[in-house]
Structure 1
C-alpha cells in the first residue's frame, strides 16, 4: 500500500498510467511545455501533421492495414520533431525492421513461456516512478537472463514488447526513456547468442527505425573482458546516442546521475523490485491485444527503404568483418 501511495503521488505520473485509459492529445501542461520546447509541437501543428500523415498512409499502395490513430502516428512525428517526410520515412523503416526480423520482433505475446519467465524474473521492466524530467526509467538486470536456457529471440521479444508498450503512453513519447542496465554476470555466452551480422544490423537499423527518444543510457558493473562488444554496440549508434552512455563501477557512483527513487529498493530505491515487476506484468496484460495487433500492419514493397539503406551503408561488409574479428578476440581473451 505504501508503494502505491508513492507511485500515485509522484508529480510526473502520467494520466494514462494512473487510470489506464487511452489518451488522444491530453498531455498535461508541464508535458505540453516540453513538447513545445523540444519538439516544436502545438495543437495546430499536431492536428495538421496527423491529418497529412493519415492521408499519405491511405494513398500509399505499399502499406496495408497500417494504424492511423493519433497515438501511433505521433510517436513518429514526435521523434522527428514534426518533420512529416522524416516521420513517414521512419514509419517505413519501422515496418521493414519488423518484417525483416519478424522472428525477433513480432508475435509479442506476454503469455509465451520463455517471455513470461523473463518478465517474471525481472530481466527488463520500467520503473513506475518517472525521473525529475518526467522520463520513464527502464531497468535491465542481466543476471536474470540465463544464456544457456533462453535464446536471442526471447531476449529481443522482451525488449521489443517493453518498448512498444511504453510507446503507447504519449507522455513517454514526449519525455523519452532513460535506460539503466546492471551487467553483472554477462559473459561470452550472451554474445554467442547472436551472429555478428544479425547483431550489427539489428543495432544499426534499430536506432533509425524505432520511434523512441533515448535520453540516457547508464550501465552498471560492465565486465572489462567484454569491452570489444560494448565498443561495437556504441560504434553502431549515432554520435548523439553514443554521448549519452555512462558507465559506473559502483551503485553509489550511479546514484550521482540516476535518482535512486526511480530504482528498485534493491538498488537504493523505495519500491521492491517484485512490486515493480508485478505492476509491469499487469500493464503488459492490459496492452496484450494492442501489441499483438501490430502484426497486421504490412509493408508490401520495401525497395525504397532498402535502396536508401544500401546507399547509406557502402562499408557494411567491412563493418561486419571488423565485428567478427572483435568477437574472435573475445574468445581468445
Structure 2
C-alpha cells in the first residue's frame, strides 16, 4: 500500500476504526469520555494548582489521551504544560509562526507529510544545519513548540504520538557551546515531559565526537524510562530501519520517500482558518500580510 502524503493537519474529530481500536486498548472508553473530561475539568477548578489557557473538551482530551486516560497522570501533565508556558512566555507570547520560516529554509526542523508504519508523525531535526550566529536557539524552541501544538490538534497523533529523528551530521563545537544545561532541560521538557502529544522514541543518527560532549549535558535530565526511548544508530541506517520502515523515511536515510519543501506546510496552514484559530487560542499571532505570500 502506498504511503499517504498530505500537508494537511487532520482535525478529525472521528478516529479511523483501526486507531479507535488502539485508543480503546489505551483506556479510552467512548461511553466514558465525556465524564472523564468533566472529571479532569473539575480537578483543575477544585485544586487550583494550574491555570490552563483552555478547558474545553477538545483541549482537555489531548492530555487524557497522552496519559492513557489515567486522570491523575493527565492532570499532572497538564500542570507541567502550564508551568512550562508560564516559565517560558517568550516561546509563545507575541510569537508569529510565519516569521519563523527561516528554520525551514535552512532545513533545521521539519515534520514529514506522512506517518510511519505505526501511524506516527515524524519530526526531524538537522542540528548540523543550524547556524547559531544567524538563528537564536529560542527560535528553534519556538518552532518546535508550534509544531508540537499543531500536532496535538490531530486526534490520531493524540493517540499514536510521534517519533523524533535527530540528525547530527555536521554537529560541531559551535553548536555544543550553545547547548547549556538549561537548553538541554528545555528540549527534554518539549519532547518528553510537558506536551500533550507523546514522543514515543527519539532516534539519533549520524552522531560524531561532538555528540559525546552533548550527551553529557543531556544525561542528568533523562530518567531511566526516557533513556530506553532513545536509540543511537550512528551511520547505520539498517539499524534505524528496524524501528521505522524504509517506505516511511526520506531517501537520505535509506528510505523511499523524497524530500518535501517546508513551504508546502506553510501554504496549507495559510489556507486553514480553523487551524489558525486554534493556534490563536493559545496566544499565537497571525497577520495577513505575513502569510499572504503562501496563498
Per-residue deviation at 1:267? 3.3
Per-residue deviation at 1:165? 0.9
2:37 to 50, 54, 71: 50
Equivalent in the alignment of 1:240: 225
Equivalent in the alignment of 1:86: 73
Per-residue deviation at 1:92? 1.8
Equivalent in the alignment of 2:253: 267
Point out where structure 2 has 5 or more consecutive residues left out of the alignment: 285-295
Please identify, of 209-218 and 161-170, the stretch whose mean Cα deviation from structure 2 is larger: 209-218
Work out the CA distance in 2 between the residues paired with 1:163 and 1:291: 11
Work out the CA distance in 2 between the residues paired with 1:244 and 1:65: 28
Equivalent in the alignment of 1:98: 85
Work out the CA distance in 2 between the residues paired with 1:63 and 1:236: 23
Equivalent in the alignment of 1:30: 18
Per-residue deviation at 1:166? 0.7
Point out where structure 1 has 5 or more consecutive residues left out of the alignment: 297-333
CA RMSD of aligned residues (A): 2.7
Q: With structure 1 as the length reference, what TM-score do the two structures score?
A: 0.74
Matched, 1:157 2:142: yes
Equivalent in the alignment of 2:214: 229
Equivalent in the alignment of 2:152: 167
Structural mapping, 1:76-155, within 5 Å? 76-112=63-99, 115-155=100-140
Give the number of aligned pairs.
278
Structural mapping, 1:184-195, within 5 Å? 184-195=169-180
SS in 1 for 2:166: strand
Matched, 1:202 2:186: yes
